[in-house]
Amino acid sequence: MSPEKAQAYWKENISTIIKLLVVWFIVSFGCGIIFINELNAIEIKGVKLGFWFAQQGAIYVFVILIFVYVRLMTKIDEKYGVNE
């Protein structure tokens, strides 16, 4: 792989990671801590939404983001010809 292509691959990889980390931060820190009072105004089956995000929602989103990362990286790997 040429140095330019390798640099573009790495740049796209880092960009993907940063975007996914921002989503994770917003869900875990934002919904679980910062916006908890606003989210607690919403109840689903007797459970306040802010409490749910703080206890379970952030973990579910993190697991989903792992699968999203795998899918995105597979596409990036195929794009740059480094897939297995």
In a domain? residue 84: no
Which residues form the domain of 38? 3-78
pLDDT tens track for 25-77: 888 888 777 888 888 888 888 888 887 877 788 888 899 999 999 999 999 99
* Distance, CA of 84 to CA of 78 (rounded, Å): 9
Residues paired with residue 48 on neighbouring β-strands, in sequence order: 43
pLDDT of residue 54: 78
Q: Pick the closest to residue 57 from 20, 34, 27 (CA basis).
A: 27
> Does 83 fall in a domain?
no
- Would you say the pTM of this structure is higher than 0.85? no
Considering its fold, how many domains does the chain have in total? 1
